[in-house]
Amino acid sequence: MSEQPLTTGRLYGVGLGPGDPSLLTLRAVECIRDADVVAYHSARHGRSIARSIAAGHLRPDHIEEPLVYPVTTETTDHPGGYRGAMEEFYEEAAARLAAHLDAGRTVAVLAEGDPLFYSSYMHMHKRLAHRYPTEVVPGVTSVSAAAARLGEPLVEGEEILTILPGTLPEEELTARLAATDSAVVMKLGRTFPAVRGALERSGRLAEARYVERATMSGERTGRLADVDPESVPYFSVAVLPSRVDAQPPAAHAGEVAVVGLGPAGPLWLTPEARGVLAAAEDIVGYSTYVDRVPMRPGQLRHASDNKVESERAEFALDLARQGRRVAVVSSGDPGVFAMATAVLEVASEGPYREIPVRVVPGMTAAHAAASRAGAPLGHDYAVVSLSDRLKPWEVIAERLRAAAAADLVLALYNPGSRSRIWQVGKARDLLLEHRSPETPVVLARDVGGPEESVRIVRLGKLDPAEVDMRTLLIVGSTQTRAVRRGADGGEEIVWTPRRYPEA
C-alpha cells in the first residue's frame, strides 16, 4: 500500500468474480458501496459486463466513468496501430481517474474475475498505484469458476497447472500443453481453431473440457472436441483437468515411444518428451533412467539392468500389444548409442511389426558437453563409442584412425568403466599419430548433474585415470582453438572454426 497525502482520494481495484453477482466478496461490495466514483471498461456499444455484475450495488449518486475501448477486434487507423491506440486510451483513462483522485474522491475500478489476472485494471494500476493510496480486492477467477462448474479437480498433489492465453502461436500452445499436467487456455473466441489444433497435436484433445460464460447466463460446458468453432465466444476457456483419479481412457491402440531424457535433470527434457512421459501408462528402462521420470498416479514402472536392452525392448512391445501406451526411456538422445535401435530391431521382427513405434528425441550428451566448453563441435565431427562390448576393439581403432586422418573433431562416448580401463590410453595413442600433443580435449563428466565437472586438457597429457563411464571426451581437430577469456584470463573455452583453411 502506498503512503500518500490524505488530501487525495483512494483507488480500489475491485475484483467482481466470474459473473454471478452472488460471487462478489464482502470486501468488493463494501468498496463499491463506499466509492464516490465507479469506473468500468466497455466496448463502443456501451454495454459493460463489469457494470452488470455490480449493478445491484450502484447508487443513484455514484459518479460513473465508462472507460470505452477505442478498438476491440477491429482495425484502426491510429498511427501507432492497435498497440498505439490502446496505450493512448490507457493514458487518457488514467488521467480521468487521476482527476477524481486529486479532487479527493474515492474511485473503484471494476474488474471481472481478479483485477491482477489478465485484467484491464492492471493498466490503471501501473499508472496510478504509485501516486495514490491503493487497495486491490481479489476476486474469483474464471479459472476457478470453470473448474467448479465442471465439477472436476483442476490440480492435485504435485501436479503443475499452466494457464495460457489462446492468442499464443499454435506451435507454442502445443509445446506447453504437451509438457504440463493440467491447463487452462483463456481468450478463446477467434483463437479456438488454433487452440483445438494444439490440443489435438499435443495428444490432449480427448481430455479437454470446454466452459463458456462460467456462472453467468448462457453458461455451457462439455467436451471441447464436440464444440462448434463458430459458436465460441471470447468469454470461454479450455480446461485440461487433473490427471489424478481421472477416468480411464477409452480403449486405444498400444504404442511404444522411445523417449530421450537428455543428459540429466528436468532442465534438459523437451516439452514433447514431458508430454509423452505424462501420457504413458508404463515406463520401461534402465533403473537409473526410470528413477529420473516423475512418479504419476496409476503409472506402472518397469526398471531393469543396463545390459538387457533386447529383453527390455521385447517387454515394452509385449505391453503395447496388450493396448498399453509404453515409454521406453534413455539418457541423452535415444537414437545415439541408446534404446531406439534396440526397440526398432526387435520391432522389425514378425510378431511386433504392427506395433507403432516412435522416437522422441532428446539433448545428446555430446551437445550438452560441447555447450559447457564453448563450441568444439562447430565444424565437422564424428561420434564414436569406445565400448568394445558390442563391437571388437579392432573396428574401433580403425574408425578412430580414419576420423583422425580426416581431421574430424571426435566425440567419444563410453570411454571407460570398472571393467574397461585401457581403451582411453589406446585411443589417445592412436590419435597422437595424427594430432599434436597440444590438441584441446574436453573432459565432461556428469554434465547437468550434481557432480558436473568440465575440464580442458591437452591430448598429450590426457590421463586415463581421470576418465570413467560418466565422462564424455571431445577431442579437437587441427583447427580447434582453446582460448582464455576474462580480465584475469580465468576461463578457457574451446571452439572449432566453421571455415576450413584452403589447401
Q: pLDDT exceeding 70 applies to what percent of the chain?
A: 95
DSSP per position, 94-123:
HHHHHHHHHTT--EEEEESB-TTSS-THHH
CA atoms within 13 A on the CB side of 327: 28
Which are the contacts of 266, defined by CB distance < 8 A and separation ≥ 6?
Answer: none
Question: Taking a C-beta distance cutoff of 8 angstroms, is the pair 140, 12 a contact?
Answer: no
Q: What is the pTM of this model?
A: 0.77
State how far the Cα of 252 lies from the Cα of 250, in Å rounded to an integer. Answer: 6
Question: Quick one: pLDDT at residue 307?
Answer: 77
Average pLDDT, stretch 225-233? 95
Which range among 13-17, 66-70, 227-231, 418-422 shows the weakest confidence by mean pLDDT? 418-422
Please tell me what DSSP assigns to residue 14.
Answer: E
pLDDT above 60 for 1: no
Look at residue 96 in the predicted model and tell me its pLDDT.
96
- In whole numbers, what is the pLDDT of the chain averaged over residues? 91
CA distance 22 to 286: 55
Q: Cβ(331)–Cβ(365) under 8 Å? A: yes
Determine the Cα–Cα distance for residues 72 and 181; give it in Å rounded to an integer. Answer: 33
What confidence score (pLDDT) does residue 489 get?
A: 66
pLDDT tens sequence across 443-468: 999 998 889 999 999 999 999 988 98
Grade residue 284 by pLDDT with cuts at 50, 70 and 90: very high
What pLDDT score was predicted for residue 438? 96
CA 325, CA 258: separation in Å to the nearest integer?
11
Q: Which residue's C-alpha cell is 597440444?
A: 438
pLDDT at 350: 81
Region 308-337 average pLDDT: 93
The residue among 47, 132, 138 whose CA lies nearest residue 94 is 132
pLDDT at 248: 56
Split at pLDDT 50, 70, 90, the class of 267 is: confident
Measured distance CA(345)–CA(339) in Å, rounded: 10
Give the least confident one: 102-111, 131-140, 251-260, 343-352.
251-260
The grid coordinates listed for 47 are: 454495454
Query: Which pLDDT belongs to residue 100?
Result: 97
Burial (0-12, 13-18, 19+ Cβ within 10 Å), 274: buried
Mean pLDDT, rounded, for 394-414: 95
Q: In the chain, what are the domains?
A: 11-138 (3.40.1010.10), 144-240 (3.30.950.10), 255-360 (3.40.1010.10), 366-495 (3.30.950.10)
What cell numbers appear for 472 in the block? 564424455
Predicted confidence at residue 32, as pLDDT, reads 97
Q: What is the pLDDT of residue 73?
A: 61
- Residue scoring higher pLDDT (249 or 103): 103
Neighbours of 366 (CB within 10 A): 27
**pLDDT average, residue stretch 315-334:** 94
Instruction: Output the CA–CA distances (angstroms, integers) from residue 211 to 168, 216, 236, 296, in the order listed.
Output: 19, 11, 6, 27
What is the band of 301 on the pLDDT scale with cuts at 50, 70, 90?
very high
What average pLDDT does the segment 178-184 reach? 91
Instruction: Tell me the three cell numbers of residue 371.
Output: 555447450
Q: Which residue has the higher pLDDT, 202 or 326?
A: 326
Q: Which amino acid is at 212?
A: E
Q: Could you give phi then psi for residue 201, rounded to 5 degrees?
A: -65, -30
Read off the pLDDT band of 53 (50, 70, 90).
very high
Using DSSP's 3-state secondary structure scheme, residue 454 falls into strand
What does the alpha-carbon distance between residue 167 and residue 380 come to, in Å, rounded to a whole number? 41
Range 44-58 average pLDDT = 91
Helices marked H in 253-306 — which ranges?
Answer: 271-279, 287-290
Would you say residue 108 has pLDDT above 90? yes
CB 10 within 8 A of CB 107: yes
> Average pLDDT of 22-42?
96
Burial track 78-103 (b if 16+ CB lie within 10 A, e otherwise)? beeeeeebbeebbeebbeebbebbee
Rg (CA), the chain: 31
Q: Which three cell numbers stand for residue 483?
A: 582460448
* CA 207 remoteness from chain centre: 19
Mean pLDDT of 401-428: 89
Gap between the Cα atoms of 48 and 27, Å rounded: 21
Place of cell 582411453: 424
- Band (pLDDT 50/70/90 cuts) for residue 251 is low
- Between CA 114 and CA 110 the distance in angstroms is 10
Q: Give, in order, the Cα–Cα distances in Å from 149 to each of 32, 119, 120, 215.
A: 27, 21, 25, 7
| Dist. CA 473–CA 444, nearest whole Å | 6
- 8 Å CB contact between 207 and 177: no
- pLDDT at residue 252 tops 90: no
Q: What was the pLDDT predicted at 75?
A: 67
pLDDT tens digits, one per residue of 375-397 = 999 999 999 999 888 899 999 99
Strands (E), 229-380: 236-240, 255-260, 282-286, 300-304, 325-330, 357-360, 374-375
Structure confidence at residue 167 (pLDDT): 94
Residue 419: pLDDT band (50, 70, 90) is low
